[in-house]
Amino acid sequence: MSEAASGRNIDRKIVEISRFEGRETFESAADTLAVEEPLEIRIGCGKEHRAVSITMRTPGADTELAVGFLFTEGIVRNRASVVAVRHCGKFPNNRNTIKVELGSFEGLDLKKLERNFYTTSSCGVCGKASLEALATAGIARIADDGFKVSAEMINALPSRLRLAQHVFGETGGLHAAALFDEGGKLIDLKEDVGRHNAVDKLIGAAFLVEKLPLVESVLFLSGRASFELIQKAAAAGVPLVCAVGAPSSLAVEAATEFGITLAGFVRDGRFNVYSNPQRLEI
């Protein structure tokens, strides 16, 4: 059974709480929480298979998360290499292991896969500590091909994102990543307890329908812009990344190096541009 067909809200959970107001008054109430569970991502070819990653994520769009992760890590390069993606067990009861079936292991750096990735919902993918790692992974600089957006459109993105964040509206506990076109129209949105997972889900969805590279898209992030998110944007060919929060110093260096226009603190009708401002029409 697929995620959509399960008929259950696997991404949220209702719990009983005691709500306090002031010093003495409290009441019993129900609260909705964002679900956080581990997902083990495996790759397989015939009878051979191996674990690649364990990530803490919000269940839902696991197929997109798995292939998005494999793509942004350089393990799979094109849609034709992926034969099938399925949970290892009956979904949704056994939903925490997923296998990506490949046509061949030929060309894969299997030694690289021997070091298992462990990703928490707060830290992002470990092992990508420098700009040199991006270059050796084959990520190229994004060409300046005339793609431009207006400052007015960027300022409109936070409210458009919030309107589309349905699970966040119930839980208040999820990050979001969204793709917009140059006119500010929402293309796709994914939510997750991990900001890097939300981006992998978004890129994985585009990968599955062969829409990569995302050369005419704006990636909007509900939180800060970290290095690993810029790495993923660069792998997917995204020319413009906007974030509600602050960028890190290494995120700015990576965006500068790989030709990405990076805007931070996009809120309240203002924003800062940290790299490659030529894509903005003022």
Catalytic residue numbers read: 123
**Cβ count within 10 A of residue 271:** 20
Q: Give the integer Cα–Cα distance in Å for 222 and 220.
A: 7
Q: Give the integer Cα–Cα distance in Å for 276 and 66.
A: 31
186-192 and 149-150 strand pairing = unpaired
Taking only Cα atoms into account, the Rg of the chain, rounded to an integer number of angstroms, comes to: 19
Question: What tokens were used for 5?
Answer: 């067909």
Q: Give the integer Cα–Cα distance in Å for 193 and 186.
A: 21
Beta bridge partners of 280: 149
Q: Give the integer Cα–Cα distance in Å for 88 and 96.
A: 8
Place of tokens 């015939």: 46
Instruction: Specify the amino acid at residue 254.
Output: A
Helix, strand or coil for residue 55? strand
Q: Give the integer Cα–Cα distance in Å for 269 and 226.
A: 22
Contact 53, 75 (CB under 8 A): no
143 Cβ neighbours under 8 A, 6+ residues apart:
259
